Amino acid sequence: MICTVGNAQKAAACLALGADAAIDYRQQDFVAQTLKITGSRGVNLILDMVGGTYVEKNLKLLAVDGRLVQIAFLQPSKVEIDLMPIMTKRLTVTGSTMRPRSAANKADLAAALRSHIWPLLEQGRLLPSIYKVFALEQAAEAHALMESSEHIGKIMFSVRPD
């Protein structure tokens, strides 16, 4: 697994969690570095939440039969792209978001999580990386931390006392 990160501390955290490589996109050209790491083969799957200028880069980075999954947009969602790589490399471009899903569909997803993921959490086989837990009343402080991008891991709220 290759991760893109915003600083050396986040790179170290990703490597400690098992990533094969972590590329600091602020210091390095992540396209060139990824192609170097993969011997120009590219990667099988990209999970992207940036969009915008990353879409074209992501298509370049995908290997034959690769998949791009768009889950959010920090940059514009409307982009101009060359569709030829999608055809010649047989790429799949897809996306997902929870907001427009029906309550029934969200309930089905919640049930699947309870059935398949919760047991792994309870067994300690799958553990989230939690950076800081805030009281709900500290929402502004939590949001400021999120915007600073200084955290490594999840920012959570405690909605009831322990």
Tell me the C-alpha distance between 88 and 54, whole Å. 19
pLDDT band at 160; cut points 50, 70, 90: confident
What CATH topology corresponds to 2-95? Rossmann fold (3.40.50)
End-to-end CA distance of the chain: 36
- Residues 40-75: b if buried by 16+ CB within 10 A, e if exposed: eebbeebebebbeebbebbbebbeeebebebeebee
Q: Are residues 139 and 157 in contact, defined by beta-carbon separation less than 8 angstroms?
A: yes
Query: Where are the CATH 3.40.50.720 domain residues in the chain?
Result: 2-95
Cross-strand bridge partners of residue 24: 5
For tokens 């039969």, the residue is: 65
Cross-strand bridge partners of residue 46: 68
Query: pLDDT, tens digit, for every residue of 12-50?
Result: 999 998 999 999 999 999 999 999 999 999 999 999 999
Across 52-64, average pLDDT: 95
Tell me the C-alpha distance between 80 and 53, whole Å. 9
